[in-house]
Amino acid sequence: MKVIAINGSPKQDGNTGLALQTVLNEIQTEGIETELITIGGHLIHGCIGCCKCMEVKSGRCITFPNDAVNELLPKLVAADGIVLGSPTYFSGINGTLKSFLDRAFFVSWVNGGLFRLKIAGSIVALRRGGGTCAFDELNKYFQISEMTVASSCYWNAVHGFAPGEMQQDAEGNQIARILGRNIAYLLKLQDYGRKNVPLPKKEDAVATNFIR
């Protein structure tokens, strides 16, 4: 089994990255492979709603083929679990991460649910406020994709401004550790269940347009 963590921050060793690594350390302790990927410094174009990926259904973004979205999509599809981390700038996730997630999750959706039933978790880093808004925004990607969302003992956020300050947030570190252990537990349950319990039936999408 393997878990991929996506760090939306441009700072590889900033508070978001440290929070994600805390989560991954607990997962590794349970014998599960992990990988942390930082995308915040990449130039990633936002989705323009061209819907070409809906027409071609190749599992790739057609309009912007040469950036981190198509580079990392195969890793995300192959992973058993996905963890997302974002800094909190204006009470929401940072722009680069949003551009990445909008396109990656849309490609997944139009190709029949490439992330369906994967184990998912998220965590945000913030100085003072707005973290629950960013946390909620990340979880919406999971909830529209039929993913199983792992929880912790509080809303998943760590506090700190300068890189490394999150290590002084005792409760935030506990949240990250428990999140990691819960993700590992769900992954093991899912691995056991695959051999003993049939997956729920997948239905084709039904679209109800309110303006006709």
Q: Is residue 212 scored above 80 in pLDDT? A: no
CA distance 37 to 27: 16
**How large a percentage of the chain has pLDDT more than 70?**
100
Give residue-wise pLDDT tens across range 101-151. Answer: 999 999 999 999 999 999 999 999 999 999 999 999 999 999 999 999 999
Give residue-wise pLDDT tens across range 87-98. Answer: 999 999 999 999
Residue 208: inside a domain:
no
Q: What are phi and psi of 170, to 5 degrees?
A: -60, -45
Helix (H, G, I), strand (E, B) or coil at 79: coil
Residue 54: inside a domain:
yes
Residue 209: inside a domain:
no
Q: What is the pTM of this model?
A: 0.95
Number of domains in the chain: 1
Residue 99: inside a domain:
yes
Residue 201: inside a domain:
no
Residue 150: inside a domain:
yes
Residue 126: inside a domain:
yes
Q: What CATH code is carried by the domain that includes residue 101? A: 3.40.50.360
Domain range for 68: 2-196
